[in-house]
Amino acid sequence: MAELTPLLRTEHLTMRFGGVVANDDINFTLQEMELRCLIGPNGAGKSTFFKSLTGQQTPTSGTIAFRGLPITGRLPHEIARMGIGIKTQVPNVFNGLTVRENIWLSARRKTTSQSLSAAVRGVLDLIRLTPQADRTVATLSHGQRQWVEIGMVLAAEPHLILLDEPAAGMTDEETLLTADIIRDINLSRAIVVVEHDMAFIRLIAKTVTVFHQGRVLIEDTVDKVLADQRVRDVYLGKKVAA
Amino acid sequence: MTQRLALFTQALAVVVAAVAIAIAPGMIEIFTLMQITLFASMAVLSLSLAFIWGFGGILSFGQTAFFGLGGYAYAVAAINFQDSTQAIMLAVIVPALFSAILGYFAFYGRISDVYLGVITLTVTLILFNVINSTSGDEYRIGEAMLGGFNGIPAVPTFNMPFDPESPLSPEQSWWATAGTLLLVYLGLRALLASPFGRVIVAVRENEVRASLLGYDPRVVKLMTFILGGAIAGLAGALYVNWGAFVGPTIFSLSLSAEIIIWITVGGLGTLLGPIIGCILIEYIVAGIGSQQTLNSNLVLGSVLVFFVLLIPKGIVPTIRDIATGLLARIGRGHGDATPATMPQTAGVK
Ligand SMILES: Nc1ncnc2c1ncn2[C@@H]1O[C@H](COP(=O)(O)OP(=O)(O)OP(=O)(O)O)[C@@H](O)[C@H]1O
Ligand SMILES: [Mg+2]
């Protein structure tokens, strides 16, 4: 049986900043339609990993392949056009534009003009910001701005969605809604989620990858990972101690 | 309701402006008409930077480089062709090509915003010095002697398109200049209302996000920069037509600084503001020039400090805020429950 080409595969991916090795020899494979959670203590290298995947930085060494095509070192807009969308850890939105304009700018790359306004309306409904559609994004709360960014990612209809701490700054209710939406979009596309909130991880996770000091510590089902002593030591232990 | 009212008011304002331009020669003296012709050509220059800085987020300290290149391209071509038609086209094409080359290295070489400012400033200085040192018979392009620091005198002024036998009268020159200003303004508004215009503003707002959505910020900025260079070049042709003369001082750094003041006073991020700021300040400077007691740089400096401290947004955005506030209050007074939303944030006045 021929092995299927994975959606995403990194081999020996390494990213150094001077003496700091933020990502160290990471071999990571994600299949089509998979939902993966990526966890690890502060500074483990999760956001750095996402930045290499989306072309925001060029890795020091190693390769990244998206559906078998090498994308290592390609520019962000080229990778975005291939179908990788990201919600960054620090919200990246168009603060001076309205919510609708934010979503529209993303949707119009994918959608023809006939269905464009319907697509924008659909996303606005999904992220529950229809009443605020004509407000400037700068006037929204932190949680709402997270939604705008998630909405922009969804509107682009990427094949792979990377979410870096999507529930940060959200209320419990909003967090539950985020989990719902993530499960919903996972019906049609692959997602990698970085989160610190363990309750949230339990809500959505099947397979979990744990990063520690730039390396993959363990990769397994959510129950096995959360029961693992090493994980408790490096991650949960630290979090309780912090 | 408010949006349709705003649109109607704006359309009305354009009609009023067009009528005012048309009837102005019959209403005012020839000296004043010449002066406002000059102001109108400067206002086109102001629009060029208002567009790339206010909407593209690109601050060029050397917009006069393109202005001067346009002026010289016009003068040299007008002398050689003895017809302003091709000369005006070249006054747009030459600076556009030059800004394309400069912009390509700046944006594709990922030069930071600060360095772009330094580079445009330096290029302006270099052009000034190069042109300044072209005295002597050996520096000629066809029939046109560049003339070094003396400049090029007796440049043929505008004629009817492809009809060199019919030079424009001062009145016709006014219509051509003010008409160009109105067309450039309307053209930029249309561009900014278009999808590409939204993308230009998006890149200004957040370059990282724009690229993560698949837009190439380098292309967008380069296009914006080239268009700004082309408009500045057109302004250069209008300016040279006004004085029938061009000299190396057209590349002056003080003029580059003045454009920034026009825009700051009128309102960055608008198109109408920089036109108003330009005409207002040029009017004040001309008034000071005709008497000897006050130094014009001192007054310019004071005006800038006054605005930065007291009206930091500039004239047009401040008036717009006040008007929006009043409208909202009137709306509430009539029991209108709809919240006062901004017509469109990326919108242009
Ligand atoms: N541009 C940079 N220059 C220098 N060091 C960097 C840079 N970006 C990240 N680092 C370092 O790389 C390491 C990994 O950082 P990263 O942001 O990827 O961690 P993270 O797992 O996302 O942490 P958090 O959970 O706090 O978001 C940290 O030690 C960080 O200081
Ligand atoms: Mg992070």
CB-CB contact of A78 with A109 (8 Å): no
Determine how β-strand A215-221 pairs with β-strand A207-212: antiparallel
Q: Give the strands of the sheet with A160-164, arranged side by side.
A: A84-87, A160-164, A190-194, A35-39, A207-212, A215-221
Rounded percentage of chain B residues whose pLDDT exceeds 70: 93
A48 lines ligand 1 (CB under 6 A): yes
Q: What is the pTM assigned to this prediction?
A: 0.90
pLDDT at A134 over 70: yes
Task: Enumerate helices (H) and strands (E) in chain A, giving the number of each.
Answer: 10, 10
Asked if A80's CB is within 8 angstroms of B213's CB, the reply is yes
pLDDT given for residue B163 in this prediction: 85
* C-alpha to C-alpha distance for B190 and B169, rounded to whole angstroms: 31
For residue B214, list chain A residues with Cβ-Cβ distance below 8 A.
77, 80-81, 109, 156
Looking at ligand 1, which residue's alpha carbon is closest to its atom 2? Answer: A17
pLDDT digits (tens, 9 = 90+) for B70-115: 999 999 999 998 899 999 999 999 999 999 999 999 999 888 878 8
Q: A128 alpha carbon to ligand 2 midpoint, in Å?
A: 26
Asked if B206's CB is within 8 angstroms of A95's CB, the reply is yes
Rounded percentage of chain A residues whose pLDDT exceeds 70: 95
* C-alpha to C-alpha distance for B314 and B325, rounded to whole angstroms: 17
- State the residue for tokens 């007691």: B293
Looking at ligand 1, which residue's alpha carbon is closest to its atom 25? Answer: A42
pLDDT at A114 over 90: no
Looking at ligand 1, which residue's alpha carbon is closest to its atom 17? Answer: A47
Report the pLDDT averaged over residues B194-199.
Answer: 95
**Under an 8 Å CB criterion, which residues of A touch B?**
54, 56, 75-77, 80-81, 85-86, 88, 92-98, 101, 104-106, 108-109, 134-136, 152, 156
CB-CB contact of A48 with A97 (8 Å): no
pLDDT digits (tens, 9 = 90+) for B241-287: 999 999 999 998 889 889 999 999 999 999 999 999 999 999 988 88
CB neighbour list of residue B87: distance below 8 Å, 6 or more residues apart: B73, B74, B75, B77, B78, B81, B156, B237
Distance to chain A for B321, nearest Cα, Å: 15
Determine how β-strand A207-212 pairs with β-strand A35-39: parallel
Secondary structure (DSSP) of A65-130: EETTEE-TT--HHHHHHHTEEEE-SS----TTSBHHHHHHHHHTTTS-HHHHHHHHHHHHHHTT-G
User: In chain B, what are the domain boundaries?
Assistant: 2-251, 254-331
pLDDT digits (tens, 9 = 90+) for B107-157: 998 888 788 888 999 999 999 999 988 887 788 888 877 888 888 998 999
pLDDT given for residue B203 in this prediction: 96
**Under an 8 Å CB criterion, which residues of B touch A?**
195, 198-199, 201-202, 205-206, 208-217, 341-342, 344-346
Mutate to test the interface with B, among A51, A97, A162 (most CBs of B within 10 A): A97
CB neighbour list of residue A137: distance below 8 Å, 6 or more residues apart: A93, A94, A95, A96, A97, A98, A99, A102, A145, A148
Instruction: State the complex-level ipTM.
Output: 0.92
Q: A223 alpha carbon to ligand 1 midpoint, in Å?
A: 27
For residue B342, list chain A residues with Cβ-Cβ distance below 8 A.
98, 134, 136
Asked if A76's CB is within 8 angstroms of B211's CB, the reply is yes
* C-alpha to C-alpha distance for B74 and B130, rounded to whole angstroms: 18
Task: Please give the structure tokens belonging to residue B309.
Answer: 């401290």
pLDDT given for residue A2 in this prediction: 53
